[in-house]
Structure 1
Amino acid sequence: MMPFPKPEDLQTAMALQRSLAERVILEGSLRNAKRIAALDASHKRGKPLVAVAVLYHLEKGPLAVGVGVVPEEALFPYIPGFLSFREAPAYLQALQALPEPPEALLVDGQGIAHPRGLGIASHLGVHLDLPSIGVAKSLLYGRLEAPLPLEAGSAVRLLSPEGRPLGYAYRSRKGVKPLFISPGHRVGLEEALAFVKHLPTRSRLPEPLRLAHLEAGKALRRLDP
Structure 2
Amino acid sequence: VPGFSRTRVLSDGERERRVHYGRLTAVETSVDLDQDNALVLRQVSDGSSFLQLILNRHQELVDCEYLKDPRAVLHRGNGSVLCELSSLSTPPSTNDTFRLIRSARDVGADWKELLDLRLLRRKCRKLHRQIRLALREQQGTAGKKKRDLFLYPGTNWCGSGNSARKFTELGVNARADRCCRDHDHCPFTIEAFKKKFHLFNYRFHTVSHCECDE
Bigger radius of gyration: 2
Tell me the TM-score normalized by structure 2.
Answer: 0.29
Larger RCO (CA under 8 A, 6+ residues apart):
1
> What TM-score, normalized by structure 1, do the two folds share?
0.28
